[in-house]
Amino acid sequence: MTEEEKPASVEDVTQTENAVLIGRKPVMNYVVACLTFFNSGEKTVIIKARGRAISTAVDTVELLRRGFMKGLKIIDISIGTEEMQREDDRRSNVSTIEINIEHP
């Protein structure tokens, strides 16, 4: 396997991208994760979610903007669809969202 064919390691991804992946935990867990990134000196954070977790991602950003960081800016919002293989060999589409926020 050549250097170009090797997949990116977990360390490469975390160094280049400050992402909070939204799942099934309470909203405040993700708010604290974002605050931790900002308090460690990061200027931007990307919040990513798929499917039903999209509403939690939006709630996370709104709580940050209205309750914790008044000057927070939303730089970009990207939406999309991923095609996934289900357990019963059917394909289904899952919506995705990425919200890029910046602390001034």
pLDDT digits (tens, 9 = 90+) for 47-101: 999 999 999 999 999 999 999 998 999 999 999 999 988 888 899 999 999 999 9
Q: Do 92 and 50 form a contact (C-beta atoms < 8 A)?
A: no
Tokens 């050549």 sit at which residue?
A: 2
Q: For residue 104, what pLDDT band results from cuts at 50, 70 and 90?
A: confident
User: In this structure, which amino acid lies at residue 51?
Assistant: G
Give the sheet arrangement for strand 73-85, strand by strand.
Answer: 19-21, 44-50, 91-102, 73-85
- Report, as an integer, the average pLDDT of 37-52: 94
Question: What is the widest separation between alpha-carbon atoms in the chain?
Answer: 49
Considering the entire predicted model, what is its pTM? Answer: 0.78
Residue 4: per-residue pLDDT: 45
CATH superfamily of 10-102: Alba-like domain (3.30.110.20)
Strands 19-21 and 73-85: unpaired
- 97 near 48, Cβ under 8 Å? yes
